[in-house]
Structure 1
Amino acid sequence: MSELFSYRDAELHERQAQHTAREIWQQPRLWRQLHRELADSAAQWQPFLAPLLADPDVQIVLCGAGSSAFAGRAIAPWLREECGLDVAAYSTTDIVASPLQYLDPSRPTLLVSYGRSGNSPESVAAVELADQLLPRCSHLMLTCNPDGALARYAAGRTHVCSLVMPQGSHDQSFAMTSSFSCMTLATALLLGPLALNDSLRPLEQMAELCEQARIAWQPQVKSLANSGFKRMMCLGGSCFTGVAEEGALKMLELTAGRIATRFDSSLGLRHGPKFMIDQHTLVVMMLSAEPYGRRYDLDLWRELRHDGRAQEIVALSGLPGEGFTDLGSELDDIWLLFPYLMFLQMLAFETSLALGMTPDNPCPTGEVNRVVKGVDIYPFSAPLASHKNR
């Protein structure tokens, strides 16, 4: 009988946890599969993306709702630094409510839309608004559901490229896990500075690292999950801030709000949010491998330990250090993003089980849904002239 995270299939089924466990566990395999599938489909996406990325005036907008928005927030800072691209990450829930505050009709735009199901009402509306308001707009759809509205939007449209993530990434659990990581990785591979072939080696190193870590971390994660913490603060700078936001949401979702969560950056924490840390708070820090940023992370690590207020502080690090949960790896931050993410997913999963909850559906009464419901989308009429022209 197979086991995932030391649980037998029958136990996971009984506790309504089998989908979440499998979807966290399977990620290294899906990442390798994603790389192969992008190589096989290069004739589809390379001619589409090449002229857009070569245009110095193009703005790239990464967008999605919920976790899908956090994927963009994680990858955008790295793309700006490594590729010199003008990249912004906005939530579709912001774009739909105030489209002209986020979409610039004067500039050519590549709208990168993320969606697990591809059916979130705001995500579909954001795409339609972009086509309504932007004279020069192209779309890259990164979705996990070949039958979703986003994936189907490409049919008959030459300004749209739709890429579906590997089979199995369309998570059946309430919480996004492998869907989030696959869409984030796809963005790094498609828009990042490395040719696809050159990215294979660090991807393989990262995947092997995660396969080892998902076993090595289990005792620590289970111990943390059973430690009785009532709050979690998730911290990281640069690309890790988006991962921190996603990690905080995973804990909030899988515990149905029983654990109060917040995220911030290492430097941002002191500006008020530090008040959240008390004797019932678990702090998870993601340390940068980049020497300059890492100095700020380490300053905060030392400060929090000196304060002695938190119930426990976990410092995830690629590099070794006293008291760190280290990976023994010199991978760059963009590749460390994925093992850090897996740790946070595992922690949320085990905490859900420790609280006696059902991770696959933590809200069986239906007030919060896997695919958002109850959103009315209203037609938008652009003003005749913007304030810039008055």
Structure 2
Amino acid sequence: MTQAVPSQQDGGATILEIGQQPDVWREVAGRTDPAVNDFLRELTGRPDLRIILTGAGSSAFIGEIAAAALRRHLGRRVDAISTTSIVARPLDHLERETPTLMVSFGRSGNSPESLATTALADELVRDISHLVITCDPAGELGRAHNGRDNSRVVFMPERTNDTGFAMTSSLTSMLLTCLRLLGPATAEDGEALALAAEQLASLQPDIRALAQAKKQRFFFLGSGPLAGLARESALKMLELTAGEVVTYFDSPLGFRHGPKSALDGDTLAIVYVSNDSYTRRYDLDIVNEIRAQLGAEAVTVISGVPVPDAIVLPGIHGLDDALVALPYLVFAQYLALFTALEHGKTPDNPFPSGEVNRIVQGVTIYPMTSGA
């Protein structure tokens, strides 16, 4: 069965940008830049180094997905802190005497908080270095750091600078690049992830059938790195449907502590299953619990290992959950796109009146002053 591609008016740019991700991953996983690698090798060789992964919105969730994998791989302190948190409370998050590598993610690099965060780090941290991962070579963040001795800028392929409203290929290309530069990802992993995403693309009719049920509540559940994925999935659904549906995110264990009270017959729960055999027990427990309460059709399970009644993606069973999140994200993006279309929205521009913008507007950045 061939699924018709939506027009540019109703989401054509978004679906093309979702669909290009396997090829993008192959490209970015195969890239090497000796100058960047040498810069990072020298920094990560320092036992006292702290790494901050930062961005706003979806770009912040890249850090939440990647942090634990980098921490294990490097044996260094790695913190995922959004630019919005740093700008609002810089002294809570920046440590003057701790040598720090700040890794900044930004599709355009034009968000005011992104620029303010690196400026605050320069002002407040004595020994600061920057790695900027961005999709727009004309963006302010990339231009501000290009050529600086303590900074390196890595630009994603031009096509990842998504023209659709929501971050899709921009997000996953920056995530994979981070895991390739500082984490456990290899070029071979890029191929495995691409094949898994291509399998998901072939399931578009099945994903659209989930959207056609027109559920009003979507729960996204995942553990560890997949909790960041769940958060991004909930945001993608909220953005593309222009708030038409209610979305929640949590971990399977955290879900029972209050949020589970919002379950009803108009709910679809998406559970992202961990590749870690210990963690997976908790994921499957919540699957069984929700199915017992609402029925099998109320839960969709995405897994990289064989589990009952799940969408099982091939070839990724041995990968870290931070990497598994990449094809899982493709599922979330397709589900959000098709749900938006079912609700009569225009995913390429869900807010034609400008209530929410592709690049955030209306933010005033205040200077750090002792009398403030």
Q: For 2:29 and 2:247, how far apart are their aligned partners in 1? A: 33
Q: Which residue of structure 2 lines up, in the alignment, with residue 35 of structure 1?
A: 29
Deviates more, 1:335-344 or 1:245-254: 335-344
Q: Which residue of structure 2 lines up, in the alignment, with residue 388 of structure 1?
A: none
How many residue pairs get matched? 370
Unaligned residue ranges in structure 2 (runs of 5+): none
Q: For 1:58 and 1:374, how far apart are their aligned partners in 2? A: 35
Q: For 1:320 and 1:219, how far apart are their aligned partners in 2? A: 22
The CA deviation at 1:35 is: 2.4
Q: For 1:309 and 1:301, how far apart are their aligned partners in 2? A: 10
Deviations 1:209-245 (A, max 9, x none): 2112211x21221111010200100000111111111
Instruction: State whether residues 102 and 130 of structure 2, in contact with CA within 8 Å, keep that contact through their aligned partners in structure 1.
Output: yes
Q: Which residue of structure 1 lines up, in the alignment, with residue 125 of structure 2?
A: 134
Instruction: State whether residues 304 and 314 of structure 2, in contact with CA within 8 Å, keep that contact through their aligned partners in structure 1.
Output: yes
Amino acid corresponding to residue 29 of structure 1 in structure 2: D
Partner of residue 62 from structure 2, selected from 67, 71, 76: 71
Q: Which residue of structure 2 lines up, in the alignment, with residue 349 of structure 1?
A: 337
Instruction: State whether residues 52 and 100 of structure 2, in contact with CA within 8 Å, keep that contact through their aligned partners in structure 1.
Output: yes
Structure 1 residue 322 corresponds to structure 2 residue 308 = yes
Amino acid corresponding to residue 32 of structure 1 in structure 2: R
Q: For 2:52 and 2:307, how far apart are their aligned partners in 1? A: 37
Q: 1:82 to 1:49 in 2, by over 3 A?
A: closer
Q: For 2:29 and 2:286, how far apart are their aligned partners in 1? A: 36
Partner of residue 15 from structure 2, selected from 13, 21, 28: 21
Q: Which residue of structure 2 lines up, in the alignment, with residue 7 of structure 1?
A: 4
Instruction: State whether residues 281 and 311 of structure 1, in contact with CA within 8 Å, keep that contact through their aligned partners in structure 2.
Output: no
Q: Secondary structure at the match of 1:142?
A: strand
RMSD of aligned residue pairs (Cα, Å): 1.7
Q: 1:155 to 1:200 in 2, by over 3 A?
A: closer
Structure 1 residue 113 corresponds to structure 2 residue 104 = yes
Q: Which residue of structure 2 lines up, in the alignment, with residue 214 of structure 1?
A: 201
Bigger relative CO (Cα 8 Å, ≥ 6 apart):
2
Instruction: State whether residues 279 and 309 of structure 1, in contact with CA within 8 Å, keep that contact through their aligned partners in structure 2.
Output: no
Deviations 1:110-163 (A, max 9, x none): 000000010000010000000010110000000000010111012341001000
The CA deviation at 1:309 is: 6.9
Q: For 2:123 and 2:370, how far apart are their aligned partners in 1? A: 9
The CA deviation at 1:44 is: 2.1
Deviations 1:318-349 (A, max 9, x none): 11222111124323223321111100000000
Q: For 2:147 and 2:137, how far apart are their aligned partners in 1? A: 16
Amino acid corresponding to residue 366 of structure 2 in structure 1: Y
Structure 1 residue 335 corresponds to structure 2 residue 317 = no
Instruction: State whether residues 278 and 310 of structure 1, in contact with CA within 8 Å, keep that contact through their aligned partners in structure 2.
Output: no
Unaligned residue ranges in structure 1 (runs of 5+): 384-390
Deviations 1:48-94 (A, max 9, x none): 11111111111100000000001111111222233322100011011
Partner of residue 183 from structure 2, selected from 179, 182, 192: 192
Q: For 2:289 and 2:255, how far apart are their aligned partners in 1? A: 11
Instruction: State whether residues 203 and 335 of structure 1, in contact with CA within 8 Å, keep that contact through their aligned partners in structure 2.
Output: no
Deviates more, 1:171-180 or 1:152-161: 152-161
Instruction: State whether residues 10 and 341 of structure 2, in contact with CA within 8 Å, keep that contact through their aligned partners in structure 1.
Output: no
Partner of residue 368 from structure 2, selected from 375, 380, 387: 380
Instruction: State whether residues 65 and 322 of structure 2, in contact with CA within 8 Å, keep that contact through their aligned partners in structure 1.
Output: no
Q: Which residue of structure 2 lines up, in the alignment, with residue 386 of structure 1?
A: none
Q: TM-score, normalised by structure 2?
A: 0.96
Amino acid corresponding to residue 174 of structure 1 in structure 2: F
Structure 1 residue 233 corresponds to structure 2 residue 230 = no
The CA deviation at 1:311 is: 6.2
Partner of residue 89 from structure 2, selected from 92, 98, 109: 98
Amino acid corresponding to residue 322 of structure 1 in structure 2: P
Q: Secondary structure at the match of 1:139?
A: strand
The CA deviation at 1:271 is: 0.9
Q: Secondary structure at the match of 2:166?
A: coil
Instruction: State whether residues 144 and 170 of structure 1, in contact with CA within 8 Å, keep that contact through their aligned partners in structure 2.
Output: yes
Structure 1 residue 360 corresponds to structure 2 residue 348 = yes
Q: For 1:193 and 1:31, how far apart are their aligned partners in 2? A: 15
Q: Which runs of 4+ in 1 moved over 3 A?
A: none
Deviations 1:240-298 (A, max 9, x none): 11111100000000000001101001111011111121111110000011111111111
Instruction: State whether residues 48 and 98 of structure 2, in contact with CA within 8 Å, keep that contact through their aligned partners in structure 1.
Output: yes
Q: Secondary structure at the match of 2:7?
A: helix
Instruction: State whether residues 282 and 310 of structure 1, in contact with CA within 8 Å, keep that contact through their aligned partners in structure 2.
Output: no
Structure 1 residue 249 corresponds to structure 2 residue 235 = yes
Structure 1 residue 84 corresponds to structure 2 residue 80 = no
Q: For 2:304 and 2:124, how far apart are their aligned partners in 1? A: 44
Structure 1 residue 303 corresponds to structure 2 residue 289 = yes
Q: TM-score, normalised by structure 1?
A: 0.91
